[in-house]
Amino acid sequence: MTFQDLNLNTPLYNAIDDLGFTTPTPIQAEAFNVVASGKDVVGIAQTGTGKTYAYMLPILRNLKFSKQENPRVLILVPTRELVVQVVNDIEKLSKYINNRVLGVYGGTNINTQKQAVAQGVDIIVATPGRLYDLAVSRVLQLKSIQKLVIDEVDVMLDLGFRHQLLNIFDILPERRQNIMFSATMTEDVDHLITDFFINPTKIAIAVSGTPLENIKQIRYNVPNFYTKVNLLEYLLGDESHYTKVIIFVAFKKMADRLFDKVEELFPGQSCVIHSNKTQNYRLRSIEQFRSGENRLLIATDVMARGLDIDGVSHVINFDTPTYPENYMHRIGRTGRAEKQGHALLLSTEKEQDGREKIEALMQMEIETLEIPEYIEISKELIEEERTVIKERYNPTKRRDEDAPGPAFHEKKEKNQKENLGGSYRREIAKKYKKPKTRGDKNYNRRNKK
């Protein structure tokens, strides 16, 4: 099957020819007619299979020219980087179509985005939080939305966007087409479909957890962080083989720590991205990695979903993910568009449970390689790897009964005052035979009698 077999129009065919595409991916071929029909759609496909074009081709095919200011298509994605990427993809497909596309996300000046919205837009791509902020400010009107696309919906729910999604649903027109694409089908996603979709057509291209056949996977058992760094130095030293590498870590502190080490080993070849970095820094890091200016990208799972970077030769899981689905999304950054990819998994003894869950999900064992003998096995441990020693018995430690009491003592007798309360006024009156407050005429009248 080729794109010529799909019922596209000339502007889309010209754009596809410019991009050099000839054959649609399975999800693109399956979803086109269903999305174009106007029915609610739920698409499940592995990462890296072209889900963005799967919903955008039929939407752009049927999107008529309009001068109205309010958007007609709303696309929700979980991260800022995905907003930028989806807008870029739509602009490529819209090269010969007269439409207006805008991406909005947090971390940037909302007033600038309000001005852009006010100029009119046909398709708006947004993260849930910023979209709701714009809608509440009444600058963005959603009453004309005809199609709602939720991309990577499982990530949105994992990131805690459920409440914001429900708020957005409340202000959208009831008569609309709902389109949802995801790599995994979780219980939360299923509840969302049940509550808001009307008899959706489900398209499943691959079962979640099915390993991509074109990705070769290997793993190493490594005792600690510094030994992992030593192994990384050995592997990345082969620059002809490890040409474009994403190194995934578990959390932000680990990303910064590893970045410092890798910069010492390979100066000027690496960049880092995580949610504590500013938006400009994140976008610049991605662009430097995409263009080849930097060979190595160290990232948390914020990069594990949706982002399409051509030519990633290897994905290295420096930390074994706790949730096996995250491993699938990570390795999906390589071997894209049916090219050959490579994935490495480094696991300490504490991370073996995570590794077993990954193999159980994929229903296969990952090939294990031995660490080369000449790589130093470090004895030094980082803070997270050190055993916390609990003090069992210390004879010199003060017991509870010996602890000092509260800082309190009885006042001296001369300082102990009686709380006279309401009788104080009467005692003053007896002593001075006149009211304490001037102008108490009734009191003066009583005394004269």
Q: What is the CATH number of the domain that holds 301?
A: 3.40.50.300
Give the count of beta carbons closer than 10 Å to the beta carbon of residue 398: 9
* 409 lies in some domain: no
Q: Domain boundary residue among 204, 237, 259?
A: 204
Number of independent structural domains in the chain: 2
pLDDT by residue, tens only, the chain of 449 residues: 788 888 899 999 999 999 988 888 888 889 999 999 999 999 887 766 788 899 999 999 999 988 889 999 999 998 888 899 999 999 999 999 999 999 999 888 899 999 999 999 999 999 999 999 999 998 999 999 999 999 887 777 766 778 888 889 899 998 899 998 877 777 777 888 888 888 889 888 765 556 667 889 999 999 999 999 999 999 999 999 999 999 999 989 999 999 999 999 999 999 999 888 887 888 899 899 999 999 999 998 877 666 678 889 999 999 999 888 888 888 888 887 667 889 999 999 999 999 999 999 888 999 999 999 989 999 888 888 887 766 666 666 656 656 666 666 677 776 776 665 566 666 666 666 655 555 555 555 555 55
pLDDT at 50: 80
3-state secondary structure 255-311: HHHHHHHHHHHCCCCEEEECCCCCHHHHHHHHHHHHHCCCCEEEECHHHCCCCCCCC
How many Å apart are CA 71 and CA 82, to the nearest integer? Answer: 19
Both 46 and 185 in one domain: the answer is: yes
CA distances from 77 to 103, 126, 133, 399, 400 (A): 10, 6, 15, 57, 56
pTM: 0.73
Three-class SS state of 342 = strand
Both 55 and 179 in one domain: the answer is: yes
Both 295 and 320 in one domain: the answer is: yes
* 395 lies in some domain: no
* 166 lies in some domain: yes
How many Å apart are CA 219 and CA 358, to the nearest integer? Answer: 12
Q: Look at residues 190, 189, 183 and name the one whose alpha carbon lies nearest to residue 205.
A: 183
Both 83 and 107 in one domain: the answer is: yes
CA distances from 206 to 213, 264, 324, 415 (A): 12, 41, 16, 84
Both 124 and 26 in one domain: the answer is: yes
Three-class SS state of 203 = strand
Q: Domain boundary residue among 150, 169, 204?
A: 204
pLDDT at 125: 96
Q: How far is CA 299 from the centre of its chain?
A: 12
Tell whether the torsion through CA atoms of 410, 412, 415 and 418 is positive or negative. positive
Three-class SS state of 177 = strand
Both 52 and 182 in one domain: the answer is: yes
- The H or E element containing residue 236 is helix 225-236
pLDDT at 163: 85
CA distances from 167 to 126, 133, 161, 237 (A): 15, 11, 10, 50
- The type of residue at 31 is A
* 426 lies in some domain: no
Q: Which domain holds residue 85?
A: 3-204
Q: Domain boundary residue among 154, 184, 204?
A: 204
Q: Look at residues 252, 214, 249 and name the one whose alpha carbon lies nearest to residue 228.
A: 249
Q: What is the token pair recorded at 152?
A: 């990577």
pLDDT at 336: 73
Report the DSSP pairing between strands 270-273 and 341-347.
Answer: unpaired
* 240 lies in some domain: yes
Nearest-5° angle of CA 244, CA 17, CA 78? 50
For 145, which DSSP code?
Answer: -
